[in-house]
Structures are given as C-alpha cells and as structure tokens.
C-alpha cells in the first residue's frame, strides 16, 4: 500500500522476467512526504487513473516504452481508454523488482548504500525521480534550494536569479532520490553513481524525459493548461531497456496552471504551508537529518489538520474536471475546468 495508491500483485517479477500488477488508485492524498492525510478527496483516484492511462497510451503511440497494460473496466476486463464506458480506478501494469538501498549511520548521519545497483543489473526500478521544469511557479522547490545554497544558478544553467512565475527558455532537468526516507535532490553525476548508470544511459534518460515533457505539454495545451513542471519514474526491463513506470501526466505528478492559477496537488500544499503543522514538519525533517534519525515523522509535534470542507470540494471537482479536459472525454459529471478554476480563485480571494 502506498500513500495514494495500492498495488495488487497478480504475478511476481523475477530477476529476468516482468510480473503483472494492478494499481488501485485511492482517494487518499499526501503532501510533504507525510503519507496519508486526514481527508479523502472524492473521485480523485479514478481521475488520476484516467489521466495516467491517457498519457501512457499517448506515450506508447509516440514510441516511448512504458509498463502500462490497460485499464480494468466494470466487468474486470483489461481495456484501453477509448473502450472504457465509465470511470475506473484500476490500472494494470507490468512489474519490475524494487531493490531498496541499505541504510547505515556515519558520523551520526543517516546514509544509504546503493552498491546493489550495477550496470549489469536488469528488470528493476531506477531509484530516482526525474524532474523537468518548464517554468518556476510560486512554490517551486528551486527558490528554497537557491535560498539555502543547496543549488547554484550555474547548476541550473541560469544567468540570473529567477522570479516566481518565470518561464524558462529551455527546460531544467532535475533529479532526486526515490527510495530514501525523504526525497533528496542530487546532481546528475551523483544520480549516475547511485543508480549504476552508464554515460549513454544518463543521456537516454534525459532524452526520454524530454519526450515525456513534450507529450504532456501538448496534451495540456489542448485544455489551456500550462505544464510548469513534472516528474517521471523509470525502470529497466529484462533487456535493460528504459521504460516509463508508475504514473505520468496527472495533477499529482505535474504542476499545471490555468491562467496563472494552480491546477494540481499544489493547491493542498499551499493550504498546508499556512499551518503550524507545516512548520513542525520542516523542523522535524531538519532535526532528523542533523541527528541521523530515519523516522522524521516521529519527531513531528503535531498531526496535520483536515482541509477546509469548501476547499476539499473544489479540489475534488478540479481533479475530475482536469481528467475530463486532459482526456477530451466527459467521464465525470462536474463543471468545466474553467468554472472550477473560477471557484478556486473566488475561494482564494475570500480567504485573504
């Protein structure tokens, strides 16, 4: 069970054969690596499932290999998106092995041993999140990292200090860890070492990221959405060929905006950044790093509060409306995306 979706294993992968699994997308959500939050967002799971399936099928159509097998309809049959008659929250996928790095303490700091990852290993999840940034909207982690000196303008290939809302001349490709207690941004050189990648494979990953970015950007543009940034996960198949895994092109994996208004999980993040709980989360993470403590959540003084009920309804409608818009099919009976964005804008204004 994950924080937002559950995995049903139908056939386990082996060292040289992929298995078969099914994602059951739930109405749970997670922010700031917390895991399951106290609310559920109605129909979020089905909306994510349909957005992801549509994007996977478009990637496959463009020759990009993925682990997607299809959607499970009401009769239990695996079908493609166009064959689906009503929403589903179940997606069938090919499975690879997940090898978690070993942890150890060094100088009081928690460290990770990635020695299992070698250029000979096959049929496994690459332990990285690969990120593209077409713009730097308010809330982008880039600003925080620049402020803290964790990254430089040179690292980002920028010749000036960016401002919130800035569009980039060319995308920034970023990378972070995937299987640690908290996602940690790393350089491409460190990422290569962590995952046991060759120079050619690093270039292939960047090329795949670029193609996925282009595809999602085109899909989003048809709905007047701007694809600000997003992340993908990758795996090697039994022949050590790259394939896109997990899910792509959804409001949880991408940061979309509509006329400058966020249309993504960022809405929930914005709400929680104003709470005392968020301050406690940041402090708990800081102390955990300082003291080499693996479970940072145990250091958090408070639990997250529930969402404002009005905002929860808006977020639910936004997921469904975005699924309708991105897939060009009205699978959910909700107002248009433009109307939901107006509702959210009015909510923001009334909250100020």
CATH of the domain at 308: 3.30.470.20
Residue 304: domain span: 5-351
User: How far apart are the C-alpha atoms of 51 and 59, rounded to whole Å?
Assistant: 12
Instruction: Write out the chain's pLDDT in tens, 352 residues.
Output: 667 899 999 999 999 999 999 999 999 999 998 999 999 999 999 999 999 999 999 999 999 999 999 999 999 999 999 999 999 999 999 999 999 999 998 888 889 999 999 999 999 999 999 999 999 988 788 998 898 888 888 888 888 899 988 899 899 999 999 998 878 899 999 999 999 999 999 999 999 999 999 999 999 999 999 999 999 999 999 999 999 999 999 999 999 999 989 999 999 999 999 999 999 999 999 999 888 888 999 999 999 999 999 999 999 999 999 999 999 999 999 999 999 999 999 999 987 6
pLDDT score of 3: 76
pLDDT score of 221: 96
Decide: residue 36, CB within 10 A, 0-12 exposed, 13-18 middle, 19+ buried. Answer: middle
pLDDT score of 141: 86
pLDDT score of 159: 86
Handedness of CA 34, 35, 39, 45 (dihedral sign): positive
pLDDT score of 150: 86
User: How far apart are the C-alpha atoms of 153 and 347, rounded to whole Å?
Assistant: 36
Quote the number of domains for the chain: 1
User: What's the token pair of residue 153?
Assistant: 């303008």
Query: Contact at 8 Å (CB) between 233 and 245?
Result: yes
Which of 271, 270, 256, 275 lies closest to 321 in space, CA to CA? Answer: 256
């Amino acid at each position: 069970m994950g924080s937002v979706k559950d995995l049903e294993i139908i056939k386990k992968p082996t060292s040289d054969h992929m298995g078969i699994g099914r994602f059951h997308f739930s109405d749970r959500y997670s922010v700031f690596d917390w895991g399951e939050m106290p609310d559920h967002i109605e129909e979020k799971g089905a909306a994510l499932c349909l957005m992801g399936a549509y994007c996977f099928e478009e990637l496959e159509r463009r020759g990009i290999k993925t682990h997607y097998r299809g959607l499970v309809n009401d009769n239990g049959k695996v079908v493609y998106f166009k064959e689906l008659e009503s929403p589903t929250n179940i997606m069938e996928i090919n499975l690879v092995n997940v090898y978690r790095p070993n942890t150890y303490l060094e100088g009081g700091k928690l460290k990770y041993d990635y020695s299992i990852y070698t250029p000979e290993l096959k049929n496994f999840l690459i332990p990285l999140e690969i990120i593209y940034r077409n713009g730097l909207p308010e809330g982008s982690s880039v600003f925080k990292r620049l402020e803290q000196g964790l990254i430089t303008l040179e690292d980002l290939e920028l010749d000036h200090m960016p401002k919130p809302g800035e569009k980039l001349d060319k995308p920034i490709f970023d990378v972070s860890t995937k299987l640690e207690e908290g996602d940690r941004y790393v350089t491409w050189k460190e990422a290569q070492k962590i995952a046991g990648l060759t120079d050619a494979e690093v270039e292939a990953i960047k090329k795949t990221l670029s193609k996925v970015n282009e595809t999602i950007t085109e899909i989003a543009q048809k709905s007047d959405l701007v694809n600000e940034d997003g992340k993908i996960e990758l795996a090697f198949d039994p022949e050590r060929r790259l394939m896109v895994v997990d899910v792509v092109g959804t409001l949880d994996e991408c940061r979309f905006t509509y006329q400058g208004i966020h249309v993504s999980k960022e809405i929930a993040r914005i709400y929680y950044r104003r709470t005392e709980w968020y301050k406690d989360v940041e402090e708990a993470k800081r102390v955990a790093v300082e003291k080499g403590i693996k479970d940072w959540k145990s250091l958090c003084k408070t639990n997250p509060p529930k969402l404002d009920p009005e905002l929860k309804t808006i977020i639910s409608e936004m997921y469904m409306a975005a699924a309708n818009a991105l897939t060009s099919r009205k699978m959910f009976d909700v107002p248009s995306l433009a109307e939901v964005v107006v509702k959210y804008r009015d909510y923001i204004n009334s909250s100020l």
